Structures are given as structure tokens and as C-alpha cells.
Structure 1
Amino acid sequence: MRINFILPRSTNTPMGGYKVVFQYANYFSDKGHDVHIYFVINAKSNSFALLRARISGRFFKRSTYRSISWFKLQDNIHIHYDVSSNIVKSIKQGSVIATHWSTARLVLDSNVREKDKFYFIQDFESFDPSADERMIEETWRFGLNNIVISKWLQYKAAELNVPAILIPNFINQKEFDITNLVPNMERGDTISFLWHNNSRKQSRIGLKVLKKVKKEFPNLKIIEFGATVSNDDAVSESYQNADLESLSNRIYGQSAIYFMPSSVEGWGLTGLEAMYHSAAVISVNNGGINEYAVNGESALIIENNEKAMYEGIMKLLRDKAYRQYLVKNGIEVANKFSLSKSGDKFINVLGGGFINE
């Protein structure tokens, strides 16, 4: 089966949504499918803006726009950089999958059968400055075969009176080597968190809270990672564009606690990855965390305010027995969400057309 993923133009920057698509692409390729990834320039066909972007990508910023160095895609995956909307519309074979609100119209206008037009929805993307809620909702109503990654997105689809099938996110256990993990009890007072410039992630608020915690725990080690980092003096270690080895052994694998201050998450993949690495997770009640964690059992889920963040972190630092309880249950939860399980369901949906749940 030919499978065509349609993504916005790549900037060769690690992003969770792209990573999930790439993981599926590798899995489908390993299963013998003909996988194509199209990175689309958001410009009108035959326009000067399109021509300028292509020239820049091909000759001046090739490593930015025509390369993927942060994730290893299988060699037999066909990657199409800097394509125009006409290229996508001309696809005539296989399943065509929009992965962002800006690519949904292209898939709608493509020349494959209606049953082969899909929309992979990883969040309600109204945070995008180029869109508003009305525009996002319109794409959900295009009549594409909507696939969502979480229950709250499925509920959102129901509110809009559009069908959507749920295929939950996952962890690709093969990516991480956890054979030599330090037990949580031996990790000291170490907390990691994702630094992100998107205000919904609330990274600045999270760091502010961690600085307050550090006053009570002077030896607190704060680890940050992300496509960008804060470079704040209070941070002990910063990892920009961390590779899988760093994530596993230097970030998650060293963390007694993983802190997710984000206010809204489509899924919250970093929390699940941290659980897999035996870190106790504390998260704001952001929607995504509830897709895999239960408050007080596999994670500490708190209200979205600084007081709750501070008190929750202090509880996990002081009550190590409770922390170990969360760690044990978190590991069990993380092992339930596998790439093979979600990948096989995705393939079945693509092969059999849309299945309404």
C-alpha cells in the first residue's frame, strides 16, 4: 500500500508532531508499505513566494529546509522537500494523510478516492498564529477521515458533529535503551522539564516554580531540554535538540521527577516517555496527561496554578515512598502504549477505509 503523509515545510527542528509521523513512517516502511513524505511550502503555485522559497531551500539553506538530521528515517522512505500544493493535489495513488490544519485542504483537493483521504489530528491547533478556531473547525468538517490521538480530541469532534477514530499515541520502546537505568531512589533531587517558547507550554512559569523549590532544596538539579533552551543560571544542564541517547541517559534517566507545566496538550508524549524511564511525573491537568495517567496512581496531576505546582513538587521530593508508588505504576502504564499496537491499527484503518467508532 502506498501511504502519503502531507506535512508543512520542514525546518529540520525536533517537534513532537513531526516525530510521531516519522515514527509511523518507519513502522509502515518496515511492514513493506511504500511510504512518501511531502513537505509543503505554504505559497500559491507558480508564485514568486514559492520560487523564492525553493531557491532558498535548494541553494542557501539546504541543511534547514532539505534535510532531516534529528531523526533517522528509513532509507527506502521517499522524502519530497519543498513541494507546491499542485504536487499534493496530483497524487493519484494510495492513502493521503493531512497532518496539520494547513494541509487539510490540499488533501481534500487531491485526486485519490474519498475513502483514501485522511486527517491525522494531534491537537486542536488554534494556538497557531496563522489560524483561529473557526478556521480549524472548518478543516475538521471537510469530510476527511479524521483520526485523533486522544479521547479529548474525539470528544471535540463529537461536539462539532464530525466522526473521528481514536488511535492513541505510543512509545517506541526500541528507540530507548533502559537496560542500565539508575533506580529512581538513587537519582537525587533532580527534576527535568521541557523548555518551549509556546506560551501554552508555560515553561517560564514552570522555571519560576522550580526556582522557588530550589530555595528549599539548594542541591536541586534542574535539567531542561527542547528545540530552544532558557540558558537561565538556575538550570543545571540544558540540552538543545537532544538526541535519543541524551533523552534516555542524561535527561529522563537521570530525573527523579519529570515536570510538565503545559496548560494544554494533545497527548503529552514527554510525560509518557519519562514514565518509561522510571521518573515520577507531575503534570498540570492539561487534557493530554489524562489519556494515559491517573491522578495519584501513575502521576500527580495538579491544577494550573503556581501554588499547586510548588506544593506538588515539594510533596514528591519529600515523600519518596509515594514517589516510588507513582514510578512503579507509571512504568506499567508506559508499557501499554506501543508503536506496534497503534501502528497496526493505523494500517488497518488506512487499508479498510474509515472505521467510525
Structure 2
Amino acid sequence: MRVTFVHPMHALLPGGGGKVVHEYANYLARRGHTVNIIFPCPSEVDADLKTLRYRARERGDWWKARTSATVRRLMGKSALRWMPLDPRIDLYFLPSLDSRLIPDSDAIFATYWQTAEAVEKYPSNKGTKFYLIQHYETWAGPKDRVDRTWLAPFHKMVVSRWLHEVGESLGARNMRYITNALDHDQFRVLNPGQARELSVLSMYQRAPWKGADDVLAIFGRLHERYPSLRMTMFGLDLRPPQIPGWIDYVRNPRANHLRDLYNAHCIYIGASREEGWGLPPAEAMACGCAFVGTDIGGFREYAINGLTALLSAPGDRDAMFKNVCRVIENSNLLNRLQATGTEHIRQFTWEKSGAKLEAYVHEVLGTVSASDFQERPGMNTSA
């Protein structure tokens, strides 16, 4: 098959959504399919990408965001340094998402609500239309436009049961649930949990729904109660001023460094108010951390309260603080969560999820054509 994935922009720094797309692209390339990845690289800011480009500017990378598509094409795969891609994958750095610039395919995946708006208008020779949905992206765009993409005539693939429920509540059809996964060759236990210094790790991200303010408040209370407890945060930005000096901070760790960070800590805290799935807690669990997090749809894909993690209501800082203290003060509980979490997360592999995506595309291409898609509105499948 010829399969094309359409990104909303060229990712300058690592991101979970982009990582998932590239894992699927790598899997399909290994399977012998022709795979294209589209990166729009407009030379000027436009209204639709204002939020994403604001983030780039705030990181001090605004000049990079203005780099032309031509320069990126000359850079080739070196323009995407944060994740290796199969050399057989073709990258297209384009000045826009105009359909005339998009290669012909058998299947084409929108990967973000704005790309869905563009892909929906493409002619049939660009491929049967799929929509990889990794979040309910009202945090990044007007709700009415985001919701409309869920109702558009795509074959929709959602990465969590929670997102499937969101789709059902909106009246979306043609949904298939295929969970995300991890690279277990990359994220694995190198340092046994019992040998680690008691320590806590979390990610800093400025988006309010990521819960960084909750984490910082909890870290402050932990510092008062356990002054010698080592606490670390990592993120893409330069060290934010609101992170106090007694918290270690690591900026933009590469994959191996991130794995080592997870392996150097005992407990990972995830305080997101909402996630489509959530890669960092899962990566931390795969590396032997006990996970203390929020009870949200994305985390429930792999975090089972009391068994593989301790969960509390989003925004309930007191409950999360108490859960962290329970783990710190009970070595048996810590060791159990480390062991059960690591064992449980091993079932989420890209071989399984990639095979399901490949089978889904084959199924659609073999049974539903672009001409009769809208004649079958009742087709609603879930794995």
C-alpha cells in the first residue's frame, strides 16, 4: 500500500503525537509499504497555526519556525533529529497543504484537527481518508471546528476508550479503537527499583491541562515534609522561573537520556487534567517507576488504581499528595507498584498496534470505496 501521514507542521522538538505517527510510519515501512510523511512549512504565520507558532516563539525557536520548506527539503531526514525514521520513508516539506503538492496514495491519514480540515477536501486519488485522533483537541482550536472534524467522512482511529466515548457523545461514526504503545527496546529497566535512591520525577509543560502547577504545588509540600527527597522535572522549555532551585531540571532530554532519567527515579507523577493517552507516565512505568497520577481517560488505558498505579481526581492536590506520601513511606507498596506497573505496560507494543492499524487499512480498502463511504453511515467498529 501507499500510505501518507499529514502533520500540521514540522516538529522542531519532541512531541508525543508526532512520535506515535512516526512509530506507525516506521512499522508500515518495515512491512514493505510505501510511506510518505507530510510536513507543512509555511514561511509566514497564518491564523490557523497561530497557537503552535506561539509555542515555538516562546521556546526561542521562532526563527526556525520561519525556515522555508526548501531549506528543510535540503536538510532531508536531518531536519527531524529527535526521532529516527526508516530510510525508506519519504518526507515532504511543503509550503502548504494544497492537494496539488500531496503525493497520490491508497490511504491518507489526517493527524490533527487542522489537517483533517485540509484532507477532507482532497480528491480521491490522494487516498482513502483516515483520521488518527490522539486527543480531543479543543485545547488547540474552536470547539465547533474540532467537533466538525469528528463528524466528517473519515475512517477514524482513536487511541483510547475515552476518545471513543467522546466520539460517541458527538455522534461520530466509523471509529476504530487501537491503543498506543511503547518502544520497549528503548524504554526498559536498566536499574532495579530497589537499588534506586528515593526520588520523584515529573514533566513540565506549560499547557494548563498538563497540570504542571499541580505538580509544583505537590513538590513544594513534599519538600517541606521530606527535605532530603530528590525531585526532578524535565521539559522542552528553558528552565521556567517558577521551578524553584531545589528541583533539578533537565531541558529536552534525548531518548536515551530520558530513559536514564526514568531509571534514576522511583516515582513518576502525572497530574494532567486530560490526556488522549499520555506517553511519559507509560514510559516511566516501562523503566521501573511507580506511577502516581490523575484518574483520567488516557491514563486509564494502562494505569489501574491500586494495582499498577495510584490515581486521584484531576486537580485534587491533597489526594495526590497523600498518594505520593503513601508510596514514599511504604516500601512494600512502592516495590509492588514498580513491579506490577512494569509488567503490565509490556503488553503495549508497536508490533501489536502497528499490525492492527495495518489490518484496519487493509480492511477499509478492501471493503469500502470512496464512492460508497457516505452510503454506510451505520458502520461503527471498535477493537
How many residue pairs are counted as aligned between the two chains? 345
SS at match of 1:35: strand
2:3 aligned partner: 3
1:262 aligns with 2:272: yes
Residues 42 and 68 in structure 2, CA contact (< 8 A), matched pair in contact too: no
1:317 aligns with 2:328: yes
**Shift of residue 151 of structure 1?**
0.2
Residues 9 and 81 in structure 1, CA contact (< 8 A), matched pair in contact too: no
Residues 227 and 241 in structure 1, CA contact (< 8 A), matched pair in contact too: yes
The 3 A distance-change label for structure 1 pair 13 and 3 is same
1:84 aligns with 2:96: yes
Determine what percentage of the aligned residue pairs are the same residue. Answer: 26
SS at match of 1:176: coil
Q: Which shifted more, 190-199 or 202-211?
A: 202-211
SS at match of 1:81: strand
- Work out the CA distance in 2 between the residues paired with 1:134 and 1:43: 28
2:212 aligned partner: 203
1:2-151 matched pairs, under 5 angstroms: 2-41=2-41, 56-58=68-70, 67-87=79-99, 90-112=102-124, 116-128=128-140, 131-151=141-161
1:300 aligns with 2:310: yes
Residues 201 and 263 in structure 1, CA contact (< 8 A), matched pair in contact too: yes
Q: Which shifted more, 104-113 or 153-162?
A: 104-113
Q: 1:338 is matched with which residue: 341, 345, 349?
A: 349
Residues 42 and 95 in structure 2, CA contact (< 8 A), matched pair in contact too: no
SS at match of 1:308: helix
Q: 1:237 is matched with which residue: 248, 251, 254?
A: 248
User: Residue type matched to 2:321 in 1?
Assistant: Y
1:226 aligned partner: 235
Residues 89 and 111 in structure 1, CA contact (< 8 A), matched pair in contact too: no
1:188 aligned partner: 197
Unaligned 5+ residue runs, structure 1?
A: none
Listed one character per residue, the Cα deviations across residues 306-344 of structure 1 (whole Å, up to 9, x for unaligned) are 211211111110011111111121112111111000000
Q: Which shifted more, 71-80 or 148-157?
A: 71-80
Residues 11 and 18 in structure 2, CA contact (< 8 A), matched pair in contact too: no
1:159 aligns with 2:184: no
Residues 129 and 155 in structure 2, CA contact (< 8 A), matched pair in contact too: yes
Residues 91 and 111 in structure 1, CA contact (< 8 A), matched pair in contact too: no
Residues 7 and 39 in structure 2, CA contact (< 8 A), matched pair in contact too: yes
RMSD of Structure 2 on Structure 1 (CA): 2.6
Q: Which shifted more, 107-116 or 191-200?
A: 107-116
User: Residue type matched to 1:345 in 2?
Assistant: K
**Shift of residue 176 of structure 1?**
3.1
**Shift of residue 237 of structure 1?**
2.9
2:58 aligned partner: none
The 3 A distance-change label for structure 1 pair 12 and 311 is same
Residues 56 and 62 in structure 1, CA contact (< 8 A), matched pair in contact too: no
Listed one character per residue, the Cα deviations across residues 156-190 of structure 1 (whole Å, up to 9, x for unaligned) are 11112222100100011122353xx2222222221
SS at match of 1:3: strand
User: Residue type matched to 1:142 in 2?
Assistant: A
Residues 199 and 231 in structure 2, CA contact (< 8 A), matched pair in contact too: yes
User: Residue type matched to 2:225 in 1?
Assistant: E
Q: TM-score, normalised by structure 2?
A: 0.84
Residues 119 and 146 in structure 1, CA contact (< 8 A), matched pair in contact too: yes
The 3 A distance-change label for structure 1 pair 81 and 186 is same
Unaligned 5+ residue runs, structure 2?
A: 50-64, 369-379
- Work out the CA distance in 1 between the residues paired with 2:252 and 2:159: 24
1:213 aligns with 2:202: no
**Shift of residue 212 of structure 1?**
1.2
Residues 210 and 272 in structure 2, CA contact (< 8 A), matched pair in contact too: yes
SS at match of 2:197: coil
Residues 29 and 76 in structure 1, CA contact (< 8 A), matched pair in contact too: yes
- Work out the CA distance in 1 between the residues paired with 2:7 and 2:263: 31
- Work out the CA distance in 2 between the residues paired with 1:241 and 1:268: 17
Q: TM-score, normalised by structure 1?
A: 0.89
- Work out the CA distance in 2 between the residues paired with 1:58 and 1:5: 20
- Work out the CA distance in 1 between the residues paired with 2:10 and 2:90: 15
- Work out the CA distance in 1 between the residues paired with 2:290 and 2:335: 7
- Work out the CA distance in 2 between the residues paired with 1:91 and 1:283: 42
- Work out the CA distance in 2 between the residues paired with 1:177 and 1:184: 12
User: Residue type matched to 1:125 in 2?
Assistant: E
User: Residue type matched to 1:24 in 2?
Assistant: Y
The 3 A distance-change label for structure 1 pair 140 and 299 is same
Q: Which shifted more, 145-154 or 214-223?
A: 214-223
User: Residue type matched to 2:7 in 1?
Assistant: L
User: Residue type matched to 1:23 in 2?
Assistant: E
2:297 aligned partner: 287
Residues 41 and 82 in structure 1, CA contact (< 8 A), matched pair in contact too: yes
